[in-house]
Structure formats: C-alpha cells, structure tokens
C-alpha cells in the first residue's frame, strides 16, 4: 500500500485570498529547536525527569500544560514566564528565522494586511525572540496566557480572529508547523497551510492540513485588495 505522503512539492502556483492571516510562531516563523531542547534539558534535570519524555510532547503545547504533568507547584504563570523569558537571553544564538519568515512578515506589514501571531509560547518568550532576531512585531499577538486551553483547542485562533476585527469571518488562513496547531486551526473553521519544518509530512496530513509547503519561501504576499490579503502559494505538496 502506498504511503500517505507519496508525491512531491511541485504543485502549480495558486493565488488565494483571505480576510486575514494568523500564524504560529515557533517552528513557523522562527526555528528555536536547539534553544528549546537545551531549555527542556535544564528543566528536566531540575525535575529529575528524562528530557526525552518532556521533548516528546512539549512542542506546540503550552509550558504551563507541560508542567502540570510533572510538577503542579510550578504550573503557574509567574514561573512559566520566568523560565520562558530566559530562553532568548540564554540561548539566543541558537535560534534562526524560518526561511522566508522575515520576508513574509515584512510583506504583510508593507501591504497593510490584517495579520497576527497565535502561539503556545508566553509573551515574555515571543517578545524576547522578536527582539533578539529583530523581526517585525505583530500588532495582534495571542499568547499562552491569553487563553484557558492550549492547542488543539481552537479558542486561541478564535481569539486571534476577534482581535483582527474579523469575528464573523471564516475566510482566515492559519500557518502552522505542528499537528496540535493544525487541529486548532481546522477546529476554528479556518484554512490551514502547514510547514514541514518540525514534523513529518504524514503527521501534517493526518492532522488535516489543507495545503503543505516546505517553508515560508513558498508563501508570497501579492497585495491587499479591498482589505483582503492575496497570497501566492508556490510548490505545495501534491
């Protein structure tokens, strides 16, 4: 039987139009894998837990939810903001932008598109990475402490839509790299474009992504017409 991922990244370019764009951050706009691995090794050592156990489930999940699994006393926002806020300061040299990430954010800003970031990270973490990497700061930012449930619950993306002033729209595109985030975007009723930056193609397909690309170099901003952003999607998987 053929694998679910049989095919290649060679789909014909297409232009899609949306009222707004919401993007995940870690693994989608920046690659902080090395930094996060070092961070969780340190935390695992403090908790006397095998770091491989934490790393197997931590990506795309709020740290406060991860901490609940190992030490309820540390599953609070003061502690989580403290440990996440240190990551860019201590491991800043271990993070880079996802290819095409800076260009996409610059283009969204220049075009005047409605866009924002919806992340499982804390405000301290995201602001730290934006500062260290000197990336455009989103005017609309939904972070871990803004919602009562993390991904795959859709409330984060629904809040993002509301903050864009598009509460009645289903014409929203979500950019994601993790299955939990893909499921959140789909549960919100939005179109999801997934990147193969952190998970296998099969995992992204199983999570329900509408389109899959290798990285953000395949997503170009063509412009904004009547308030709606036009995106050219190149070399999607087919």
**E strand or H helix that includes residue 224:** strand 219-225
The secondary structure of residue 23, as a DSSP letter, is E
DSSP label at 13?
Answer: P
Q: Which helix (H) or strand (E) holds 200?
A: none
Report field, pTM of the whole predicted structure over 0.85: yes
Token pair for residue 179?
């299955």
- Beta carbons of 19 and 171 less than 8 angstroms apart: yes
Helix (H, G, I), strand (E, B) or coil at 7: coil
| Burial class, 89, CB count within 10 angstroms (exposed 0-12 / middle 13-18 / buried 19+) | exposed
Distance (Å, rounded) from C-alpha 129 to C-alpha 125? 6
Q: Is 215 a catalytic residue?
A: no
| pLDDT tens for the 238 residues of the chain, in order | 345 667 899 999 999 999 999 999 999 999 999 999 999 999 999 999 999 999 988 877 899 999 999 999 999 999 999 999 999 999 999 999 999 999 999 999 999 999 999 999 999 999 999 999 999 999 999 999 999 999 999 999 999 999 999 999 999 999 999 999 999 999 999 999 999 999 999 999 999 999 999 999 999 999 999 999 999 999 999 9
Distance between CA 137 and CA 126 in Å, rounded?
Answer: 9
Q: Out of 19, 24, 31, 215, pick the active-site residue.
A: 24
Alpha-carbon torsion 171, 172, 176, 181, what sign? negative
From 26, 31, 177, 215, active-site residue: 26
């Amino acid at each position: 039987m053929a694998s679910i991922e049989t095919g290649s990244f060679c789909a014909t370019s297409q232009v899609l139009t949306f009222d707004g764009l919401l993007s995940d951050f870690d693994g989608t706009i920046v690659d902080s894998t090395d930094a996060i691995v070092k961070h969780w090794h340190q935390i695992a050592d403090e908790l006397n837990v095998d770091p491989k156990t934490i790393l197997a489930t931590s990506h795309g999940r709020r740290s406060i939810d991860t901490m609940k699994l190992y030490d309820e006393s540390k599953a609070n926002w003061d502690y989580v903001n403290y440990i996440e806020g240190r990551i860019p300061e201590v491991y800043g040299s271990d993070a880079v932008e996802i290819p095409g990430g800076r260009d996409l954010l610059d283009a969204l800003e220049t075009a005047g598109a409605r866009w924002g970031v919806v992340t499982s990270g804390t405000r301290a973490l995201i602001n730290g990475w934006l500062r260290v990497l000197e990336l455009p700061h989103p005017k609309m930012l939904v972070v871990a402490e803004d919602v009562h449930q993390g991904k795959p619950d859709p409330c984060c993306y629904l809040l993002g839509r509301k903050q864009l002033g598009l509460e009645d729209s289903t014409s929203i595109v979500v950019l994601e790299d993790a299955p939990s985030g893909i499921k959140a975007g789909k549960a919100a009723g939005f179109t999801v474009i997934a990147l193969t930056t952190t998970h296998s193609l099969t995992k992204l397909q199983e999570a329900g992504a509408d389109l899959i690309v290798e990285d953000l170099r395949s997503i170009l901003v063509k412009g904004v017409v009547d308030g709606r952003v036009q995106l050219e999607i190149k070399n999607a998987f087919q």
